[in-house]
Amino acid sequence: MTGYDGISFDDRMETVEFRVAERAHIVVDSDVCRSCTTKACVTACPANLFAPTSDGGILFNYEQCFECGTCYQVCNAEGALTWTYPDGGHGVVFRHG
Amino acid sequence: MTDVIVVGAGPAGSAAALLAARDGLDVVLLERGPFPGSKNAYGGVVYGRVLDEVLPNWWDEVPVQRWVTRRSTMVLTEGRALTVDFRSTDWGKAPYNGCTTFRADFDSWLAGKAVEAGAQLVTSTVATGLVVEGDRVVGVRTDRSDGDLRAPLVIAADGVKSFLAKEAVLLPRTQAKHLTLGVKEVLSLPREVIDERFGVRGNEGVDVEILGCTRGIPGGGFVYTNRDSISVGVVVSVEHLAAAKVRAEDLVADLKAHPAVAPWVEGADLKEYTAHLIPEGGYDHLPPLSTPGMLVTGDAAGLCLAAGIWLEGVNFAIGSGLEAGRHARRIIETRDEKPYRAALEETFVLQDHKRLRGAPGVVLSERVQQQYPGLIADLVQGLFTVTNPTAKPGVVKLLRAAAKNNGVKLRHLMTDGLRGGKVFR
């Protein structure tokens, strides 16, 4: 998918280093998400990690996460999203932040 | 025996560790990233004068990209831009004013100063929680196999999400209302092309702050120069971004496509994309800055100044960290955290925040964000459009028309003018 400034989202994310941990630092309870009417995480996450599924749940991945925390700040369903830091030394590594 | 555990080797934590270690205390500085700054991103300028007293001639060794000698404020509407541009050669020589830098470089440099002073930096280690006895914090849990670390004082410099401050119930779990999301592209360009496009030479750099480029979502944009790249980004209210269902990178794409910005970024390659939250609630939404056994500093304490023409954070982080480190020994000895807050009240850290406490409300207000950019552009376009053979319209007539055209009542201009005057006095 190409963004309208000509950079595809994949190319954008390719510029960022991720030292992916084995343990997922984000856990989503899709059962809770099914009752969510806003699904604000889907567009608000700058890394585009959350995708709505056909049955009304949320599919997510944690590997390419900026660790900004926007998702849990906008999540309006208690218990839907559990967020911890990735294990020490893992996760995003910014060089030009 | 560890005297002080500092959590987070960003500017606040390293500043705290530096002074505590210089004071002879045994300091452990924990960093969850593989190196200091690896988790950090910011909106562009480090104002380093806060370091004068503790690191004389810091400017000779700070890992600078460019010294900001041009500072612009830009108001955009579709197809139009008004820029107020200031340049000073004073800012291009010691003691300078502000510099652009990459946080991986800057934060690592400052952490190195703390290490030189005797602090022990431990990277790739997460402080996963607090160790509490009674009502007192007595240490932190870590994700290392050796587990808990104990000390009479913990300094939380663990950034905007501060799970330590949350665990101590100093910060609410969520506070989207007082947070902004910053996203930034770093775009490669040859150094001489940057010099040419931005009208600078040598180590000189430019910082441009922009209003009116976020589709009415409260926030703003920025462009600043590094040595051989430029950084372009937007900072927007998390709450409003989510409600608008707009993707942040599309706002950056908008900004890059604007005719006032496009010539700067033309032909540049994306080098890195970053995102980070910023606490922008200001003085009225600061958390308590301590709990028994723990001090809270920097972004964890909400100490970012987002006051329109002043957008500062790293200097406030350093300023608060220095006071935490400076008073650590006394706080450990007396088991009384009050001197920390008292010290902050005596410095720019809380004085600027207090003075500008109304600024976030004004800057992020609907009229400033959605209506005034258009009003200003209409007014200026009216002033400079030569209407021959019709005679020039008067300024008052233009202002009335611009206000009407943008849905602004003259009484709004009056009240906002007075409010702005009061807030920025």
Which residues, listed in sequence order, are joined to residue A1 by a DSSP beta bridge? none
- Hey, is the C-beta of A46 within 8 angstroms of any chain B C-beta? yes
Q: Which residue of B has its CA nearest to A94?
A: B38
Residues of A in contact with B158 (CB under 8 A): none
Asked if residue B309 belongs to a domain, the reply is: yes
Phi and psi of B94, rounded to 5°?
Answer: -55, 140
**CA–CA separation, A63 and A40 (whole Å):** 20
Predicted local confidence at residue A4, as pLDDT: 56
Q: Is residue B410 part of a domain?
A: yes
B208 and B307 assigned to the same domain: no
- Domain assignment present for residue B30? The answer is yes
Nearest CB to A74: which of B128, B142, B242?
Answer: B242
Residue where one domain finishes, among candidates B249, B279, B309:
B279
CA distance A31 to chain B (A): 21
CB contact under 8 A, A85 and B276: no
Do B323 and B397 reside in the same domain of the chain?
no
The answer to whether residue A68 sits within a structural domain is: yes
Q: Which residues of A touch B103 (CB under 8 A)?
A: 94, 97
Indicate which CATH number applies to the domain containing B317: 3.50.50.60
The sheet carrying B153-156 orders its strands as B120-122, B27-30, B4-7, B153-156, B294-296, B290-291
Statement: residue A1 has pLDDT above 60:
no
Q: Are strands B127-133 and A91-93 parallel, antiparallel or unpaired?
A: unpaired
Q: Which of B128, B231, B242 sits opposite A44 (nearest CB)?
A: B242
Which of these three, B313, B338, B356, is where a domain ends? B356
Say if the Cβ atoms of A89 and B144 lie within 8 Å: no
Chain A interface, best mutation among B28, B35, B39, by max A CB count within 10 A: B39
Examine the domain organization and report whether B347 and B393 are in the same domain.
no
Beta-carbon contacts of B264 under 8 Å, excluding residues fewer than 6 positions away, are B197, B198, B223, B230
pLDDT of A3 = 58
Is the Cβ pair A97, B248 closer than 8 Å? Answer: no
What CATH number does the domain containing B224 carry? Answer: 3.30.9.90
Distance from CA of B127 to the nearest CA of A (A): 9
Which chain A residues touch B32 with a CB distance below 8 Å? 85, 88-89
- Residue B252 host element (H or E): helix B248-257
Q: Into how many domains does chain B fold?
A: 3
Residues B106 and B249 in one domain: no
Closest Cα partner for B155 from B26, B297, B18?
Answer: B297
Count CB-CB contacts under 10 A for residue B407. 12
Closest residue to A5, CB basis, from B239, B248, B253: B253
Chain A residues with CB under 8 Å of B231 CB are 96
Could you tell me the residue range of the domain that residue B242 belongs to?
176-279
Question: Are B45 and B166 found together in one domain?
Answer: yes
Is B96 within a domain? no
What are the C-alpha distances in Å from B235 to residues B179, B249, B274?
Answer: 10, 11, 12
Residue ranges, chain B, pLDDT below 70:
none
**Residues in Cβ contact with B95 at an 8 Å cutoff, skipping those fewer than 6 apart:** B49, B52, B59
> Would you state the pLDDT for residue B308?
85
Q: By CA distance, what is A7's nearest residue in B?
A: B270
Q: List chain A residues with CB under 8 Å of B246.
A: 43
Partner residue opposite A66 with nearest CB, options B142, B252, B275: B275
Q: Does the model's ipTM exceed the 0.90 cut?
A: yes
* pLDDT of the residue at B145: 87
* Same domain? B113 vs B138: yes
- Residue B87 maps to a domain: no
Q: What is the CATH classification number for the domain harbouring A37?
A: 3.30.70.20
Coil, helix or strand at residue B66? strand
Q: Which of B29, B31, B32 to mutate to test the interface with A (most CBs of A within 10 A)?
A: B32
Which residue in the set B41, B125, B277 is minimally distant from A70, CB to CB?
B277
Do B218 and B318 share a structural domain? Answer: no
Q: Which of A12, B244, B263 is nearest to A2 (CA)?
A: A12
Asked if the Cβ–Cβ distance from B161 to A19 is below 8 Å, we say no
**Quick check: is B197 in a domain?**
yes
Q: What is the pLDDT of residue A47?
A: 98
Which residues on chain A are in Cβ contact (under 8 Å) with B172?
none
Nearest chain B Cα to A96, which residue? B102
Instruction: Please indicate whether, in this complex, the C-beta atoms of A44 and B126 are within 8 angstroms of each other.
Output: no
pLDDT tens profile A16-65: 999 999 999 999 999 999 999 999 999 999 999 999 999 999 999 999 99
pLDDT one-digit tens code per residue, B372-419: 999 999 999 999 999 999 999 999 999 999 999 999 999 999 999 999
What does the alpha-carbon distance between residue B123 and residue B145 come to, in Å, rounded to a whole number?
14
Q: Do B250 and A3 touch (CB under 8 A)?
A: yes
Of A4, A46, A92, the CB nearest to B181: A46
**Structural domain span for residue A32:** 21-87
pLDDT score recorded for residue A2: 55
Identify all chain B residues contacting A48, using CB atoms and an 8 Å cutoff.
Answer: 247
Closest alpha carbon within chain B to A13: B273
Q: A59 CB near a chain B CB, below 8 Å?
A: no
In this structure, the answer to whether residues B184 and B218 fall within a common structural domain is: yes
| Set of chain A residues whose Cβ sits within 8 Å of the Cβ of B145 | none
Asked whether residue B274 falls in the same domain as residue B318, the answer is no
Dump pLDDT digits (tens) for B127-177.
999 999 999 999 999 999 888 999 999 999 999 999 999 999 999 988 999
For residue B173, the model assigns a pLDDT of 87
Taking an 8 Å cut-off on Cβ atoms, the answer to whether A72 and B126 are in contact is no
